[in-house]
């Protein structure tokens, strides 16, 4: 694919711009936020958006813009690490299942079906209720939650490619399963895995927002957008901008990764 193709796809263009924007915000927040994200100022509680406080202040007089900036670190951290957990374990499981097949495949796929039976954030809720809330447990829970979708994609890819002549030739030449899986098949299913990574990223962000809103995810003082929505809800009527802005930011991030994933899928589909 060339640059022209990339810029012609509107979803791809919009999605990656949105993500780039948020990433820029995240990078800046590592070094600079207008105010300390946890600095309280009782004199300016719940003030309107204004020049000195772009997104207004919360019920403790903390600057919402600074907190949103800081929260983007948590969002990217959780999205990236949970997707990496899901991707690596999912591909491993899917590769074993699809490459070796047989009863092992049957057992693994039943297990993945069983994991998918816990709808939405229920699986994450169950894990967090046992292991306790917090940043690390949220990442692990969301990572486990995304294993089934990756393993299914990997499995069908491996099942399809292991019948191809070039794979059979490699096996005939004496390549072991690891070599075949890693060098011969994986590069061929990389594109569908990349698409899934982008879509799961947005799934993780949404799930984290829900978990943290319920008080089961990220705990203070770690900043989190979902947690901010929880804190904003009682002041929804007096300070609607707090709820509005925080939700819009979450939506932008989820939308960005959804558009990126869809755009990439269209691109790969057209190519093949």
Query: Binding residues for other proteins, per CB under 8 A?
Result: 11, 110-111, 113-115, 117-122, 125-130, 202, 206, 209-210, 213-216, 229, 233, 236-237, 240, 243-244, 246-247, 250-251, 254-255, 258-259, 262
Token duo for residue 247: 């939700």
The nearer residue to other proteins, 156 or 192, going by C-beta atoms, is 156
Q: Which residues contact 88 (CB under 8 A, 6 or more apart)?
A: none
**Least distance from other proteins to the Cβ atom of residue 246, Å:** 8
Contact 108, 97 (CB under 8 A): yes
The nearer residue to other proteins, 186 or 255, going by C-beta atoms, is 255
**Least distance from other proteins to the Cβ atom of residue 92, Å:** 19
Q: C-alpha distances in angstroms, 76 versus 20, 25, 82, 232, 257?
A: 12, 11, 10, 22, 11
Token duo for residue 159: 């099942």
The nearer residue to other proteins, 181 or 267, going by C-beta atoms, is 267
The nearer residue to other proteins, 154 or 180, going by C-beta atoms, is 154
Q: Which residues are 57's β-sheet partners?
A: 63
The nearer residue to other proteins, 128 or 193, going by C-beta atoms, is 128
**Least distance from other proteins to the Cβ atom of residue 201, Å:** 12
**Least distance from other proteins to the Cβ atom of residue 257, Å:** 9
How far, in Å, CA of 142 to CA of 121, rounded? 8
Q: Give the chain's count of helices (H) and strands (E).
A: 12, 0
Q: Which of 30, 11, 44, 31 is nearest to 72 (CA)?
A: 30
Token duo for residue 160: 């399809």
**Least distance from other proteins to the Cβ atom of residue 66, Å:** 21
**Least distance from other proteins to the Cβ atom of residue 258, Å:** 5
**Least distance from other proteins to the Cβ atom of residue 51, Å:** 25
The nearer residue to other proteins, 89 or 170, going by C-beta atoms, is 89
The C-alpha angle with vertex 215 and arms to 213 and 220, in degrees rounded to 5, equals 100
The nearer residue to other proteins, 33 or 224, going by C-beta atoms, is 224
How far, in Å, CA of 102 to CA of 270, rounded? 33
């Amino acid at each position: 694919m060339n640059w022209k193709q990339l810029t012609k796809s509107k979803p791809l263009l919009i999605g990656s711009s949105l993500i780039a924007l948020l990433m820029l915000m995240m990078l800046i927040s590592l070094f600079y936020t207008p105010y300390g994200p946890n600095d309280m100022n009782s004199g300016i509680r719940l003030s309107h958006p204004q020049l000195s406080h772009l997104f207004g202040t919360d019920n403790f007089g903390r600057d919402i813009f600074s907190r949103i900036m800081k929260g983007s670190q948590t969002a990217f951290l959780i999205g990236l690490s949970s997707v990496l957990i899901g991707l690596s374990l999912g591909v491993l499981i899917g590769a074993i299942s699809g490459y070796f097949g047989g009863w092992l495949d049957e057992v693994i796929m039943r297990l993945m079906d069983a994991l998918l039976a816990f709808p939405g954030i229920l699986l994450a809720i169950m894990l967090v209720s046992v292991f306790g809330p917090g940043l690390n447990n949220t990442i692990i829970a969301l990572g486990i939650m995304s294993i089934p979708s990756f393993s299914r994609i990997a499995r069908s890819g491996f099942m399809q490619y292991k019948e191809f002549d070039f794979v059979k030739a490699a096996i005939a030449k004496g390549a072991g399963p690891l070599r075949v899986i890693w060098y011969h098949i994986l590069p061929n299913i990389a594109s569908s895995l990349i698409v899934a990574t982008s879509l799961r990223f947005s799934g993780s962000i949404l799930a984290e927002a829900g978990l943290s809103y319920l008080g089961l995810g990220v705990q203070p003082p770690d900043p989190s957008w979902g947690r901010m929505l929880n804190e904003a809800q009682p002041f929804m009527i007096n300070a609607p901008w707090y709820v509005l802005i925080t939700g819009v930011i979450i939506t932008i991030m989820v939308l960005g990764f959804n558009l990126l994933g869809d755009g990439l899928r269209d691109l790969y589909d057209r190519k093949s």
